[in-house]
């Protein structure tokens, strides 16, 4: 397994005076969440666990979550979750939270909290608008 890059901040170009993109707007692309679970001395290969991953936006609202059941038959077990897109609104620090529980338990134990920044880079005009303005100037 190779990690090519670790996501810690996303920059999204936003045209100046653009209306808010809303909750449905996402930065396109595929990103992955990797969890590597280590078997504890008191655990055996027949024990079943559940993993919960939640992306929380800067206002504290969960934007998506995923659940995975797993066992650790050897000393380690890895889980890779693939996600398409990342919320653009609101700007600020999102938090990726990973929790675990033994299957059948009611309480989750948060084991990781990872910040991911969403930064809006405000520009005078989008690339498409600049191209359109150049075309209009040449034809006048």
pTM exceeds 0.85: no
Nearest to 128 by CA among 24, 10, 18: 18
Q: How far is 11 from 122, CA to CA, in rounded Å?
A: 10
**Average pLDDT over every residue of 5-16:** 86
DSSP per-residue string spanning 90-116 = S-EEEEEEEEEEETT-S--EEEEEEEE
Q: Say yes or no to pLDDT of 137 above 80.
A: no
Which residues are bridge partners to 103 per DSSP? none
What is the structure's pLDDT at 138? Answer: 44
CB 12 within 8 Å of CB 88: yes
Alpha-carbon torsion angle 9, 57, 51, 78, nearest 10: -10
What is the structure's pLDDT at 23? Answer: 80
End-to-end CA distance of the chain: 57
Query: With bands split at pLDDT 50, 70 and 90, how would you rate the model's confidence at 131?
Result: low
Which residues are bridge partners to 99 per DSSP? 52, 110
Domains of the chain, start order: 24-139 (2.60.40.3880)
3-state secondary structure of 128: helix
Vertex 77: Cα angle to 74 and 81 (nearest 5):
160
In the chain, the percentage of residues whose pLDDT exceeds 90 is: 60
DSSP per-residue string spanning 45-101 = TT-EEEEEEEEE-TTS-EEEEEEEEEE-SSSEEEEEEEEEEEE-SS-EEEEEEEEEE
Query: With bands split at pLDDT 50, 70 and 90, how would you rate the model's confidence at 130?
Result: low
């Amino acid at each position: 397994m190779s990690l090519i890059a670790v996501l810690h901040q996303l920059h999204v170009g936003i045209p100046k005076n653009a209306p808010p993109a809303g909750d449905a707007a996402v930065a396109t692309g595929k990103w992955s969440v990797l969890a590597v679970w280590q078997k504890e001395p008191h655990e055996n290969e027949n024990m079943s666990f559940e993993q919960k991953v939640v992306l929380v936006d800067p206002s504290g609202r969960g934007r998506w979550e995923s659940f995975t059941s797993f066992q650790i038959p050897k000393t380690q077990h890895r889980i890779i979750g693939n996600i398409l897109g990342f919320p653009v609104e609101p700007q600020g620090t999102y938090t990726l939270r990973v929790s675990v529980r033994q299957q059948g338990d009611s309480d989750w134990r948060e084991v990781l909290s990872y910040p991911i920044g969403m930064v809006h880079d405000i520009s005078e005009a989008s690339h498409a608008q600049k191209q359109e303005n150049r075309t209009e100037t040449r034809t006048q």
